[in-house]
Amino acid sequence: MKIIIINSGSSSIKYQLINMPTQEVICSGMIDRIGLDTSNLTYVTSNTKLDESLLIANHKIGLEKIAQLLMDDRIGVIKSTQEIDAIGHRVVHGGATFSNTVVINEEVKEKIRQLFDLAPLHNPANLEGIDVAQEIFATAKQVAVFDTAFHQTIPVIAYKYAIPSKLLTEKKIRVYGFHGTSHKYVSEKAIEYLEKSSKIISIHLGNGCSMTAIQDGKSMDHTMGFSPSNGLIMGTRSGDIDHSLIFYLINTLGYTPTEVNNLLLKESGMLGLTGYSDLRDIESNAEKGNVDCQLALAMNAYRIRKYIGSYTAAMNGLDAIIFTAGIGENSSYIRKLVCTDMDYFGIEIDMEKNEIRSKEIREINTLTSRTKIMVIPTNEELEISNQVYNLLLN
């Protein structure tokens, strides 16, 4: 079964063509910095590696470009769209409706559309990916895998907000949790590596950032909440703020609700602090002495450290922390800022190991560290492929 996985992030598209059940990756790649002045495209097969810098204005253009490459006469890997059996789509918010992987129909699409307001940077891009894929790969089964599904095990003590209970029972307002596909994948890899079910904190750092407390393989708490805007400082999202700020902006400073929403989701975070949303640009300028960039990186790490402390308390212990996703896997600078002076929690980073680049699971802690510090490359595409295959097989 040939399955194309489409993973649309807020500013990126990762994709893989996987042959199941062998898990052979026929083709893979990504487009990042979507909507910025210059986007980066990669396309990799067994005998081709293409890297391009070009303008990709939105996700629709990006998906059309990927489809062209897959069927290119010279470097393509399929002759016809009919060779594709299924398309697996990562969908960020499933709300209270979706707790499992589902075959996409018009009703599912409408439910995803109804959740736009809860994940405005993601669900619209996810649905656009579905629509474009249905046009291009008309004979393939379209399947949705929801980021919220892994977090269904969060206990009520953690997912219920301290607001009138009827808003939970009648309106389903609660913590849902996100990046679940990634947190599930890396935590299972960690448990396999450690050879025991442990108390783990998974730290997913990309343009969107989140942390999950995982005990015995189950999600117990998560930094994001009702929508993927809470918690850590992100590329353009503020993360945690005092909710009174929203009313102050509207009632005193004259902002409209739409302007506030745009401010907190698209103009804040690292972009609001530095003028840059891409961490590579921020680190580069910090190294050149940019004080705003230096402070933003320190604030970013400080927020992560606070959640490590709170989740360690919530689980009454900590066996390992995991760094994953684009920033978590590649930024030794952020990992160093997070793990320095954390010996009270048994976290001791080995600075030399931290600088080593690898695509394998690795430890970057000292030999005397009580807590494992692990870098585990996430593979949301493989996790989605497994779920799609198992759904269609049954």
- In the annotated binding site for substrate, the residues are 90
Element (H, E) at 327: helix 325-330
Contact 6, 133 (CB under 8 A): yes
Tell whether the torsion through CA atoms of 169, 170, 174 and 176 is positive or negative: positive
147 belongs to the catalytic site? yes
Query: Which residues does the annotation place in the binding site for Mg(2+)?
Result: 7, 380
Buried b (16+ CB within 10 A) or exposed e, 247-265: eebeeeeebeeeebeebbb
Separation CA 9–CA 13 (nearest Å):
6
Furthest-apart CA atoms within the chain: distance in Å: 61
Pairing label, strands 209-215, 218-222: antiparallel
Query: Which residues does the annotation place in the binding site?
Result: 7, 14, 90, 204-208, 278-280, 326-330, 380
Active-site option among 32, 85, 147, 319: 147
Cβ partners under 8 Å of residue 231, min gap 6: 209, 210, 211, 222, 223, 224, 225, 239, 240, 303, 307
Task: Count the neighbouring beta carbons within 10 Å of the beta carbon of residue 122.
Answer: 23
DSSP 251-305: HTT---HHHHHHHHHHS-HHHHHHS--SHHHHHHHHHTT-HHHHHHHHHHHHHHH
Catalytically active residues, by annotation: 147
